[in-house]
Structure 1
Amino acid sequence: MLPLIGKTIIFDKFPDPSDTWEITETIGKGTYGKVFKVLKKKNGQKAVVKILDPIHDIDEEIEVECNILKALSDHPNVVKFYGMNFKKDEINGDKLWLVLELCNGGSVTDLAKAFLKKGERMSEPIIAYILHEALLGLQHLHSKKTIHHDVKGNNILLTTEGGLKLIDFGIESREKTVCP
C-alpha cells in the first residue's frame, strides 16, 4: 500500500504512461481532473484513466483513494485498480494517472435519466438488482473497515456485461481502525 495519511506520495517513482497507455477518448471531468478512455498499447486492453494535477493540497486525498483501491478492488462490485503512472510535462504541468477498470454501461444516474426521458420508470427487478449489487460492494468495504461516504447514482457504474461497480473512494471514504 501507499504510505498512510500524513505522508506524501513520491510521484517520480511511478512509471511514465506514454509507453503503456494511449488516450482514445475523453469521457468527462471529475472533481480533481479529467477522465479518459485509454488503450493498452501492448495488448489492446481498454481502461479508464483519471488524470490528476498532483497538487500538494490533495496528496492526502490521492493517497486515500489509492490505498482503498489497492486494498479493496478485488471484489466484483468494486472498480478494479490497475495502477498509477506519472507523466512529467514541464509545458502543461505534471500529471498523475490513476488507471481503472472501464465500465462502459454508464452510471445508475444515466440509466435512470434514460428511462425518464422515454417516459418510463425503472422496474422493481432492475432497482432490486442495482441495490443488491451495490450492497454487496458496500458489505465488502465494511468488512474491510472502510466506509464509502458518497454512495449515489453517479458513483455506481454499470458494465456492458451487466455488472455493477462502486467508484470514487476519495477523502470521503476512509479506512476506520478498530481500537483494541
Structure 2
Amino acid sequence: MANDSPAKSLVDIDLSSLRDPAGIFELVEVVGNGTYGQVYKGRHVKTGQLAAIKVMDVTEDEEEEIKLEINMLKKYSHHRNIATYYGAFIKKSPPGHDDQLWLCYGILWCRLYHRPCEEHKREHSKRDWIAYISREILRGLHIFMPTM
C-alpha cells in the first residue's frame, strides 16, 4: 500500500528545526558504538526515566537514512519488540562542524531480563536465552516483513 510507505513522509522532517536536547535529555554513560555513532544510557531530565540515546553526526550524505529511521520509529514503535520512540533532537555544533542528532528510545533490553519465565524460579540455560531472544527479534522483524 502506498500509504504505508514511511518514505512518503520523508519530506515532512526538517532536521534543522528539531529542538535542542538540553534540559530534556542528558547523557549518562556510553553503552555501545555503532556504524553511525555512539549509544548512551540517558535520562529524561524532569522525570528521571532512563532512555537509550543514539548520538550521531548529521551529514548531508546520511540525512535521508536518518529521516527514514525517524519515520520508521514513529510508525512502528508501538510494537512490544520495537523500542519506544521518545523523540529526535539536534544539538547544534560550532560552524565547520556537523550538528549532532540525538535519537531517544525506550530501553528495550530491560524486557529481555524480566520475562514471564522468572516466575518458575528455575535457572535457564544459555540455549533457553538464545531461543527467547531470537524469537523476540523475529517478532519485531515481522513488523517490517509481514510475509515471514
Instruction: Give the TM-score normalised by the residue count of structure 1.
Output: 0.62
Tell me if structure 2 keeps the 8 A contact 1:28–1:34.
yes
Shift of 1:69: 0.9
Q: Distance in 2 between matches of 1:59 and 1:129?
A: 35
How do 1:86-125 and structure 2 match up within 5 A? 86-90=90-94, 93-104=98-109, 122-123=126-127, 125=128
1:63-103 CA-partner distances (Å, limit 9, x unpaired): 11111111111011111111100111217642111111224
**Structure 1 alignment gaps of length 5 or more:** 108-120, 148-180
**Structure 2 alignment gaps of length 5 or more:** 113-124
1:102-149 CA-partner distances (Å, limit 9, x unpaired): 2455x9xxxxxxxxxxxxx722x3333223222221222223x8x9xx
* 2:33 counterpart of 1:29: yes
Pair 64,93 (structure 1): closer, same or farther in 2 beyond 3 Å: closer
Shift of 1:5: 7.7
How do 1:83-162 and structure 2 match up within 5 A? 83-90=87-94, 93-104=98-109, 122-123=126-127, 125-143=128-146
Report the aligned-residue RMSD.
3.0
Give secondary structure in 1 for the equivalent of 2:126.
Answer: coil
Instruction: Give the structure with the higher percent helix.
Output: 2
How do 1:57-68 and structure 2 match up within 5 A? 57-68=61-72
Quick one: percent identity of the two aligned structures? Answer: 35
Q: Distance in 2 between matches of 1:72 and 1:82?
A: 12
Give secondary structure in 1 for the equivalent of 2:40.
Answer: strand
Pair 41,139 (structure 1): closer, same or farther in 2 beyond 3 Å: same
Instruction: Give the TM-score normalised by the residue count of structure 2.
Output: 0.74
Aligned to 2:53: 49
Tell me if structure 1 keeps the 8 A contact 2:77–2:85.
yes
Q: Distance in 1 between matches of 2:10 and 2:46?
A: 36
Where in structure 1 do 4 or more consecutive aligned residues deviate above 4 Å? 5-9
Letter in 2 for 1:101: G
Give secondary structure in 2 for the equivalent of 1:128.
Answer: helix
